Structure 1
Amino acid sequence: MNLKEKLKKQQYNEIWQQYCGFLDLSMDGYMKIQRRLMEEQIQLWSNCGLGQSILKGKHPRNLDEFRKMVPLTEYEDYADILLTKQPDMLPGNPVIWIQTTWEGGKHPIKVAPYTRSMLDTYRNNVTACLILSTSRKKGSFDVASTDKFLYALAPLPYATGLFPLALGEEIDIEFLPAVKDAVNMSFSERNKLGFKMAMKKDLGFFFGLGSVAYAVSLSLSSLTGGRGIQLSSLLKCRPHMIFRLIQAKYHCKKENRQLLPKDLFHLKGFMVAGTDNQCYKDDLEELWGIRPMELFAGTEPSIMGTETWTRKGMYFFPDTAFYEFITEKDMLKNHEDPSYVPPTYLMDEVRPGEKYELVFTILKGGAFARYRCGDMYRCVGLENREDETQIPRFEYVDRVPWIIDIAGFTRISENGIRNVIRLSKLPITNWVAAKEYNEQNRPYLHMYVELERESLLNSAMSADILKELLSTYFKYIDQDYRDLKKILGMDPLQVTIFTCGTFETYEKQTGKKLHQMNPSYYDLKALLEVQECLNKVR
């Protein structure tokens, strides 16, 4: 039976155990599931063409041998086989291929195959997220087939496009607008139609990237203004929505504030995924009156984990992937010295407070083994009395330091920035790039650049002009960067021009060269102090 049928029979305890029972696992029970599923995957992966392209004739017989024989991998190790979509080379038969951006300016896309077993696991875990988003305590939830879901997701072939399809196999929740219509609409058109439909039918759920959810929320707030709701549209609304609107308008006028989504809609569940959610959660809670529940999700692994009703850390699903962790110290050492092989730790070996780079092997016939996805997490605890769990929970930190991700949309690499500078033919001799946050706690890309001496003397190059020129080329090489402005209304670049000789002076004084991507706080502070001293001298 699916969720709809069990709800009809009021089998609430069975529903909780089936979808959310992993939260009751002991650490030993969790690892037994991990090891059992991994044993199955080792055989599938090691004996397929893709696995042998990496193993080079080796055949691990158990988990220990697998971790010794299989090197840590990145997408380059799979690209030749996956981008040409060779199913005969894979450990399982793919029924769908999911797509996302790989690296702007260098690799247009990367694709990931999903087997039927992977999709079944995804469906169960998506349903668990839906249930937990409405939960206020262990065992409680509020889900119905009549619920309405605001559509704020990227369609297939992107990973979020799987969400409504998988959920549709479990329960007849209605998306506003319908998925078949939404995929052919612009972001703005979806928002307007979704809001109009929500005013007629009410709204129970909302899920999207944190940054996108915020943009949609602001859009809804603007649509509820004086001209946003016409009398003809209002007459089509349900009586309780008309009453709710009249009541909301009265309270907002009395409190001298703008109408907010929470005044009209009382969400049962609110879910966010992607990066930089910490920048938007407080504002989203203020707008909707409910704290968003954060998910772990990605193209290669699908949905990996979720928060619970406490909103105090996320738990990895034990049946999506086998998890390994590289400490931040070892990760940085490996980046400095690629010949250094960082050790990995399993779920029962992580420590509270430690930051880790995640490594995973997809289960159920997945393609990726010991895969470095480029995400970092902090372990925030090994158990939690509030939600009665005995397994580790995590919070998302960010991408690895050599990738700058802005609002979950774009992944800016050192290579990408070099391409921008090369294509623009701008006279930039030295640069560093850092992810920083403005006064509203919104992320942006800050480039500190040094220009050729003659260019500074012979032109009126200002930081604003340089920013406009660089932005043009970032948009040219990276579709996701363009979408930051188009969809979120965000201008993610800030430029500071340094005095000639700043970088050279820094290197002489410190005896080291700066990391060009996300230099440490102390290194960047030292560089700024050098710049300040040079300005005083001149």
Structure 2
Amino acid sequence: MTFEEKLKNQEYDRIWQEYCGFLELDMDAYMGIQNRLLEEQMRLWCSSPLGKKILKGRVPGNIQEFRQIVPLTTYEDYADVLLLKREDMLPDKPIIWIQTTWEGGKHPIKVAPYTKGMLQTYKNNVLTCMLLSTSTEKGKFDVEAGDTFLYALAPLPYTTGLIPLALTDEVNIEFLPPVSEAVNMTFSERNKRGFKMGLSKGIDFFFGLGSVAYYVSLSVAALSEGSQKGSSVLKKICSMSPSMMAKYLKAKRECKRENRPLKPKDIFRLKGFLCAGTDNHCYKDDLEDLWGVRPVEVFSGTEPSCIGTETWNRNGLYFFPDACFYEFIPEEEMYKNMEDKSYTPRTVCMDEVVPGEVYEIALTVLKGGAFARYRVGDMYRCLGLTSKEDETRIPRFEYIDRIPSIIDIAGFTRISENSIKNVIELSGVEVENWVALKEFTQDKGRPFLHLYVELSPGAVVNRAVSRELLKEQLTIYFKYVDQDYQDLKRILGMDPLEVTILRCGTFAAFRRQTGKVLRHVNPSVHDVQEMVKLQGTLDGRRTY
């Protein structure tokens, strides 16, 4: 029986229990599901050529041995098999391959196989996210056949392109614009077409990266620009349904009286609002102001699929027990491993996490997935082991960011030490030393990449490179080595790079005074501040 058939039969309690029942599990029941599914996955993965390649002749007999014998892995451990799509090497037959960026300037893409079982789990968990995005309390939701869904998602082969396919099998959801049209449109064309259709049909659901959702939401202000263009207003009004026309005209009058721009909430009444990706905390307040609904955060990735969601209280992510087996690397263990690559960090399971602690997550993808004990590169803070508000008895988490060695801006970039080195070399700028930090603007708290550069003595003496010129050169080459970086400007209109030029000898002086050698990417903010104060900047700007 499909989701839509259950809706027609008004089996609301059954729907809630089937899709959201995991929220009622206690820790023992949750771990029972985790362990049972991991044991099934172990049999598939350990007997596959891919598993044998990584295990190197060792065979774990139980979960404890699996966690001891299987090393923590990264994409490099799978690349030779997955990039060639060697299906004969995998634990189960893939139905579809999903793609994403790997590392700009070094590895263009990485791909991940999705099996039949993974797709079924993905479908169920996406429906869970939709239900919870409309929920106001336990057991209450508002999803109907024929609901409209604003298409602000990347199409296949990206993971969000699976959402329309997953929902179409279960319930009639009308995407704005239709997926068959959207896949052949540019980002801008999809936005314009989607909102134009929304004016006629209304918008029930909106799902996108937090940064993209914010940018798309601002485009609604274009509706109010027609106030000085009569023909433009007439066209918009003529395309609306009578009910939407009434809302639009009423909203225009109210906005004029209040002397403010038109906002989406003045016209649309969202049932559900979902956001994914990094830096969502930078946009949630503004999105709530624009739409009148606070977005529910979900977590989904190419390798792990859809693994977590917030509830009606929007007070933390809960991980689905059937998508992956979860292990957590304590923050101090992660840093030890960053400093000493030979060090093997310990991990804890879901029933061992501690409230307030920060962890890097490691995932074993269930249902025939390829990845085992996989370091996907994301960090979470445990917010609590129970919640009185949600009436839950399982841990909930807050997404922090990518791991320190990666700078992710608004969910678009994967900037690493290697990519920055490549950019500097290609630019031809004579750089003696540098560090890069992910920072946030003081006005709106938006993320950006701040590069602190010490030029070589010759470059400074010759005055050949100014800060603006250096920034311009580096921007050009960042776009050259990283397509996603270019998309920040093309899609979101963001210029994410700020450059501060430090005086010659700054790094050496800081090292002499403190005995510290800074990591190139995301070193201690306090240490960078102290280093800048120590020597000042070449262009006389006060950074802090």
Q: Normalising by the residue count of structure 1, what TM-score does the alignment of the two structures yield? A: 0.98
Match of 2:84 in 1: 84
In structure 2, the partner of 1:394 is: 397
CA distance in 1: counterparts of 2:497 and 2:155, whole angstroms: 27
* Equivalent residue runs for 1:145-224 within 5 Å: 145-224=145-224
Offset of 1:340 from its aligned partner?
1.1
For residue 535 of structure 1, report the CA deviation from its aligned partner.
9.8
Corresponding residue of 1:318: 321
- Aligned to 2:214, what secondary structure does the other structure show? helix
SS in 1 for 2:408: strand
Q: Distance in 2 between matches of 1:255 and 1:428?
A: 53
Q: 227, 232, 253: which is aligned to 2:256?
A: 253
2:207 maps to a residue whose letter is F
- Segment drifting more, 461-470 vs 230-239: 230-239
Whole-angstrom CA distance in 2 between matches of 1:358 and 1:16: 28
Instruction: Give the counterpart letter for 2:503 in structure 1.
Output: T
Q: Is the 8 A contact 1:225 1:259 kept in 2?
A: no
Contact 1:94 1:114 in 2 (8 A): yes
Task: Specify the alignment match of 1:521 in structure 2.
Answer: 525
> Is it true that 1:435 corresponds to 2:438 in the alignment?
yes
CA displacement, residues 465-520 of structure 1 (integer Å, 9 cap, x when unaligned)? 10000000000000000000000000000000011111111111111211110111
Superposed, 1:407-426 pairs within 5 Å as: 407-426=410-429
**Counterparts of 1:25 and 1:93, CA distance in 2:** 31
Q: Distance in 1 between matches of 2:232 and 2:86?
A: 52
- Give me the whole-angstrom Cα distance separating, in 1, the residues matched to 2:376 and 2:471: 30
Q: What is the match of residue 383 of structure 2? A: 380
Secondary structure in 2 aligned to 1:230? helix
Number of corresponding residues: 536
Write out aligned runs for 1:19-98 (5 A): 19-98=19-98
Alignment partner, residue 306 of structure 1: 309
- Counterpart in the other structure of 1:264: 267
Structure 1 regions of 5+ residues with no counterpart?
A: none
Secondary structure of the residue that 1:523 maps to in structure 2? helix
Shift of residue 229 of structure 1?
A: 4.9
Q: Is the CA contact 2:4–2:171 (under 8 Å) kept in the aligned structure 1?
A: yes
Q: CA deviation at 1:89?
A: 0.4
Q: Counterpart of 2:299?
A: 296
Distance 2:206 2:537 in 1: 51
Superposition map of 1:225-236 within 5 A: 225-226=225-226, 227=229, 229-236=232-239
Question: What amino acid sits opposite 1:468 in the alignment?
Answer: E
**What per-residue deviation string (whole Å, max 9, x for no partner) do you get for residues 368-416 of structure 1?**
0000001000000100011110000001000011100000000100000
The code of the aligned residue for 1:382 comes to: L
Separation in 1, partners of 2:223, 2:78: 46
Instruction: Tell me if structure 2 keeps the 8 A contact 1:191–1:220.
Output: no
Cα displacement (A) at 1:21:
0.5
Please tell me whether the aligned partners of residues 502 and 536 of structure 2 are also in contact (alpha carbons under 8 angstroms). no
Given that 1:406 and 1:443 are in contact with CA atoms closer than 8 Å, whether structure 2 keeps it comes out as yes
Report the Cα distance in structure 2 between the residues aligned to 1:67 and 1:459, rounded to whole angstroms. Answer: 56
Contact (CA 8 Å) 1:207, 1:213: kept in 2 or not?
yes
Distance (whole Å) between structure 1 residues aligned to residue 107 and residue 223 of structure 2: 39
Letter in 2 for 1:6: K
Aligned-pair distance for 1:526?
Answer: 1.6
Question: C-alpha deviations, 1:78-126, integer Å up to 9, x for none?
Answer: 0000000011100010000000010000001000000000000000000
Q: C-alpha displacement at 1:532, in angstroms?
A: 2.8
Alpha-carbon deviation of 1:533? 9.6
Alignment of 1:453 with 2:457, yes or no, is yes
**1:99/1:533 CA distance change after superposition, 3 Å:** closer
Change (3 A) 1:54 1:198: same
| Letter in structure 2 aligned against 1:225 | E
Tell me how far apart the structure 2 counterparts of residues 466 and 300 of structure 1 sit (CA, whole Å).
Answer: 36
- Decide whether aligned partners of structure 1 residues 534 and 510 sit closer, same or farther in structure 2, where only a CA change above 3 A counts: farther
Deviation by residue 1:118-162 (Cα, 9 ceiling, x = unmatched): 000000000000100000000000011121000000000000000
State the Cα distance separating 1:530 from its structure 2 match.
1.4
Task: Judge conservation of contact 1:74–1:372 (CA < 8 Å) in 2.
Answer: yes
Kindly indicate whether the alpha-carbon contact (under 8 Å) linking 2:19 and 2:128 is maintained by their aligned counterparts in 1: yes
Partner amino acid for 2:413?
T
CA contact (8 A) 1:304 1:320 kept: yes
Q: Distance in 2 between matches of 1:534 and 1:160?
A: 45
Cα separation, 2, equivalents of 1:88 and 1:351: 40
Q: 1:108 to 1:535 in 2, by over 3 A?
A: closer
Q: Distance in 2 between matches of 1:512 and 1:277?
A: 33
Structure 2: which amino acid aligns with 1:525?
Answer: Q
Question: Is 2:96–2:115's contact at 8 Å kept on the other side of the alignment?
Answer: yes
- Percent sequence identity is 63
Q: CA–CA distance in 1 between the matches of 2:45 and 2:210?
A: 35
Aligned match of 1:509? 513
| Paired residues of 1:502 and 1:534 also in contact (CA < 8 A) | no
Q: CA 1:197 to 1:46, structure 2 compared with 1: closer, same or farther past 3 Å?
A: same
SS at match of 1:154: coil
Describe the superposition over 1:22-70 as per-residue Cα deviations: whole angstroms up to 9, x where unpaired. Answer: 0000100000000000000001000000001100111111101100110
Structure 2 residue aligned with 1:500: 504
What is the distance in 2 between the residues matched to 1:189 and 1:236?
Answer: 17
2:468 maps to 464
Say whether 1:343 aligns with 2:340.
no
- Where 1:311 maps in the other structure, the secondary structure is coil
